[in-house]
């Protein structure tokens, strides 16, 4: 199965570069930009994604033909579910989705996703899916919660083959996106479990109830359902 993949030696952000190329030329669905060395990787809400050169997968994929009936947050659900199920089924890695876009394995951060939707007026023209997956890196200075595939399995992975394998899996899942979207809660970290959270200077316990249609985390406390947006609270686990 062939894909349009552009591999660059080094780039600031694969998401930013793919957005520029999408604006300036016609690109096919699943066009992918991939780099050995991302110097200014992006995370959620202005955060950064740091990755050791030549050790990890850092890439961005264009989705240009998603139905307008699928909302922005459903795209988020779709991609995170597909990524977790790819890890589980193809690599035998136990993984879960930690709201909103982190992928955990053994309670450590294995991957992060940044999804940026592009619009002309009210029409979504495409979505850029940025993914950073820790693969062969063995040390994460200052990042106590990070982990890589090689740390989990003891194996060394060939990066190009991993990328092709994921894109193939994604392409097959896109044939029935609603089916993957429906499995989101099955893979949600701490779903229906009591969990500790931090909000400002205080901490509290609540049961993870799910995620609403706007992508906000829903927590159950007694008879109340509380909703939180990105960066409003922190997980304690």
Tell me which residue range forms the domain holding 216. Answer: 194-236
The pLDDT score that the predictor gives to residue 230 is 87
The pLDDT score that the predictor gives to residue 197 is 97
Q: Give yes or no: residues 81 and 166 share one domain.
A: yes
Q: Give yes or no: residues 111 and 218 share one domain.
A: no
Q: Give yes or no: residues 85 and 145 share one domain.
A: yes
The pLDDT score that the predictor gives to residue 45 is 45
Give how many domains the chain has, as a whole number.
2
Q: Give yes or no: residues 159 and 229 share one domain.
A: no
Give the residue from 151, 140, 143, 159 showing the smallest Cα distance to 56: 159
The pLDDT score that the predictor gives to residue 2 is 77
Q: Give yes or no: residues 159 and 62 share one domain.
A: yes
Q: Give yes or no: residues 53 and 103 share one domain.
A: yes
The pLDDT score that the predictor gives to residue 39 is 83
Q: Give yes or no: residues 200 and 181 share one domain.
A: no
Here the CATH number for the domain that contains residue 200 is 2.30.30
Q: Is 149 exposed, middle or buried (0-12, 13-18, 19+ CB in 10 A)?
A: buried
Can you read off the two tokens belonging to residue 36?
């050995």
- Domain-terminating residue out of 187, 206, 228: 187
pTM: 0.93
Q: Tens place of pLDDT for every residue, the chain, 237 residues?
A: 679 999 998 999 999 999 999 999 999 999 999 999 888 765 554 455 567 899 999 999 999 999 999 999 999 999 999 999 999 999 999 999 999 889 999 999 999 999 999 999 999 999 999 999 999 999 998 888 999 999 999 999 999 999 999 999 999 999 999 999 999 999 999 999 999 999 999 999 999 999 999 999 999 999 999 999 988 999 998
């Amino acid at each position: 199965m062939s894909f349009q993949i552009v591999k660059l030696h080094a780039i600031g952000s694969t998401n930013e570069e793919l957005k520029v190329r999408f604006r300036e030329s016609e690109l096919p669905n699943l066009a992918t930009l991939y780099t050995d060395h991302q110097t200014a990787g992006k995370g959620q809400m202005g955060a950064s994604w740091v990755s050791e050169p030549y050790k990890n997968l850092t890439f961005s994929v264009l989705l240009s033909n998603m139905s307008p009936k699928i909302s922005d947050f459903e795209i988020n659900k779709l991609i995170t579910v597909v990524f977790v199920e790819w890890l589980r089924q193809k690599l035998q890695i136990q993984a879960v989705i930690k709201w909103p876009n982190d992928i955990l394995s053994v309670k450590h951060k294995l991957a992060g996703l940044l999804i940026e939707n592009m619009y002309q007026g009210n029409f979504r023209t495409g979505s850029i899916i940025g993914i950073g997956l820790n693969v062969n890196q063995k040390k994460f200075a200052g990042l106590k919660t990070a982990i890589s595939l090689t740390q989990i399995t003891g194996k060394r992975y060939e990066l190009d083959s991993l990328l092709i394998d994921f894109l193939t899996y994604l392409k097959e899942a896109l044939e029935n996106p609603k089916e993957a979207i429906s499995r989101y809660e099955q893979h949600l970290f701490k779903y229906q479990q009591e969990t500790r959270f931090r909000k400002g200077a205080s901490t509290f316990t609540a049961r993870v109830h799910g995620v609403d249609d706007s992508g906000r985390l829903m927590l159950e406390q007694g008879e109340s359902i509380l909703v939180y947006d990105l960066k409003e609270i922190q997980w304690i686990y």
